[in-house]
């Protein structure tokens, strides 16, 4: 049994007893029952995920996975692929949006090279970078498969290893984020193929394409889907034919987190595509997923609808990196603090009308 099968085998149902106890406690807190709405629901679900009716969120981790894409050669991005390694250095040095928001919520960022198309020159020892490179970017999927089946499998396994290794440093919750110029294109391909929605409906402007650029992007996506014909019954084949290394890595993180009863906060469109791959491998991961926000990217709603998730907020974000996940983690932490720290009617000496 390989790592992927082992992870899938370990994914269990939510702990109903912990959820019942959490719900019972919520109903005794000094507030009208249900008055904190989704915050109450989140805390109950985290109880079910962790098996603890008063879960405590302390060790917060965001994995930001990077990879390049051969289809960028077809002009599907407004930025060149050289931006990918430059942004990886920015992540490592703490200067990116995700670093700011991670510091804001007290999370650590783990940057992973899954398939950057160059050798990164890390000039000093750093604990926040992991080299899990599968290849120097994917192949151009308008001319053939983005990667081999074996490499697709390796990318998911690498994500599992990253998650399990990071658990040794403490992990109560994990957010998944991405970096990769052009990666809205494979994400649109995955979304269209799995959800059955038209390519036009799930393809957006990415980093800022104009109308002609968007038209060409849709054209190239249709070409790639016709050429590659993935197997609808094999999520790894879908990833191999039209995916990306960082998408596979995030899918692995999601599977591993669920297998260890760790809640996963999904960022936006790219990490949503990874969640689709993970969901196709094991629908049981749905219970462990929390959708942070609704991305501006056109296909994100189709992903959430397919899995059956509702986003916590909509701030018109589309940066990626795990920025939405960071904000989502802060909401999850707040929900658990309400459950743990708010006084009950009995403790406060307040009569409970209900």
Contact 297, 204 (CB under 8 A): yes
What is the C-alpha separation between 299 and 295, in angstroms, rounded?
9
Where is average pLDDT lowest: 95-99, 207-211, 231-235, 320-324? Answer: 207-211
pLDDT of residue 235: 98
Could you give all domains of the chain from N- to C-terminal order, each with its CATH number?
Answer: 3-55+339-348 (1.10.1610.10), 60-330 (3.40.50.10210)
Running DSSP on this structure, what letter comes out for residue 284? Answer: G
pLDDT for the residue 78: 85
Query: What b-and-e string marks burial along 114-150, b requiring 16 or more CB atoms within 10 Å of the CB?
Result: bbbbeebeeeeeeebbbebbbbebbbbbbeebbbeee
pLDDT given at position 208: 82
The active-site residue, picked from 74, 164, 197, 321, is 321
User: In the chain, what percentage of residues exceed pLDDT 70?
Assistant: 98
pLDDT digits (tens, 9 = 90+) for 44-82: 999 999 999 999 999 999 999 999 999 999 989 888 999
When pLDDT is averaged across residues 153-173 and rounded to a whole number, the result is: 98
Q: Are 96 and 224 in contact (CB under 8 A)?
A: no
Q: Which of 279, 281, 284, 325 is CA-nearest to residue 304?
A: 279
pLDDT for residue 193? 98
Q: Coil, strand, or helix at residue 116?
A: coil
pLDDT reported for residue 196 = 97
- Is residue 74 flagged as an active site residue? no
Average confidence score pLDDT of the chain: 96
CA torsion angle for 265, 267, 269, 274 (degrees, to 10)?
A: -50
The token pair at 139 is 């192949």
In the three-class reduction of DSSP (H, G, I as helix; E, B as strand; rest coil), residue 176 is classed as strand
Residue 289 CA, chain-centre distance (Å), reads 9
Bin 170: left if φ > 0, else alpha if -120 < ψ < 50, else beta. Answer: left
Q: Residue 184: is its pLDDT beyond 80?
A: yes
pLDDT digits (tens, 9 = 90+) for 106-146: 999 999 999 999 999 886 667 899 999 999 999 999 999 99
Tokens of 243: 């995916």
Complete DSSP assignment for 304-317 = HHHHT---SB----
Q: Could you give the CA distance from residue 297 to residue 177 in angstroms, rounded to a whole number?
A: 15
- Percent of the chain beyond pLDDT 90? 92
Alpha helices in the chain (DSSP H): 3-10, 16-26, 38-50, 83-93, 97-105, 149-166, 184-195, 199-202, 211-228, 235-242, 245-259, 269-281, 300-307, 323-341, 345-348
24, pLDDT greater than 70? yes
Average pLDDT over residues 155-174: 98
For 267-293, write each residue's pLDDT tens digit.
999 999 999 999 999 999 999 999 999
Radius of gyration of the chain (CA): 20
Confidence grade of residue 1 (pLDDT, cut at 50, 70, 90): low
Q: How confident is the model at residue 354 (pLDDT cuts 50, 70, 90)?
A: low
* Alpha carbon 127 to chain centroid, angstroms: 21
Give the mean pLDDT of 172-183: 97
H or E element in which residue 95 lies: none
Question: How high is the pLDDT of residue 206?
Answer: 84
**pLDDT digits over 210-225, tens only?**
989 899 999 999 999 9
DSSP state for residue 111 in the 8-state scheme: E
Tokens read off for 31: 């507030």
């Amino acid at each position: 049994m390989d790592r992927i099968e082992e992870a899938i085998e370990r994914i269990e149902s939510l702990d109903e007893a912990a959820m019942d106890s959490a719900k019972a406690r919520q109903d005794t807190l000094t507030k009208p029952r249900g008055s904190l709405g989704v915050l109450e629901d989140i805390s109950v679900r985290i109880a079910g995920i962790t098996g603890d009716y008063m879960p405590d969120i302390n060790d917060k981790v965001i994995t930001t996975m990077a990879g390049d894409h051969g289809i960028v050669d077809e002009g599907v991005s407004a930025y060149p692929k050289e931006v990918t390694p430059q942004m990886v250095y920015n992540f490592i040095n703490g200067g990116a949006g995700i670093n700011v928001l991670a510091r804001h919520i007290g999370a650590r960022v783990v940057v992973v090279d899954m398939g950057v198309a160059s050798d990164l020159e890390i000039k000093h020892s750093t604990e926040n970078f992991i080299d899990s490179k599968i290849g120097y970017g994917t192949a151009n999927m308008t001319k053939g498969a983005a990667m081999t089946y074996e490499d697709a499998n390796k990318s998911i396994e690498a994500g599992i290893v990253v998650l399990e290794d990071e658990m040794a440093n403490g992990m109560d919750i994990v957010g998944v984020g991405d970096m990769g110029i052009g990666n809205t294109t494979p994400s649109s391909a995955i979304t269209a193929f799995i959800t059955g929605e038209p390519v036009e409906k799930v393809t957006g402007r990415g980093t800022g394409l104009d109308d002609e650029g968007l038209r060409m992007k849709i054209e190239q996506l249709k070409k790639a889907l016709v050429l590659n014909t993935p197997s609808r019954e094999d999520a790894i084949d879908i990833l191999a034919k039209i995916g990306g290394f960082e998408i596979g890595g995030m899918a692995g993180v999601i599977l591993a987190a669920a297998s260890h009863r760790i809640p996963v906060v999904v960022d936006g469109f790219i990490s949503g595509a990874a969640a689709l791959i993970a969901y196709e491998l094991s629908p049981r991961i749905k219970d462990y997923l929390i959708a942070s926000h609704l991305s501006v990217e056109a296909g994100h709603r189709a992903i959430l609808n397919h899995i059956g998730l509702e986003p916590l907020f909509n701030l018109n974000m589309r940066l990626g990196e795990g920025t939405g996940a960071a904000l989502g983690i802060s909401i999850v932490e707040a929900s658990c603090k309400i459950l743990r720290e708010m006084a009950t009617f009995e403790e406060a000496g307040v009569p409970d009308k209900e």
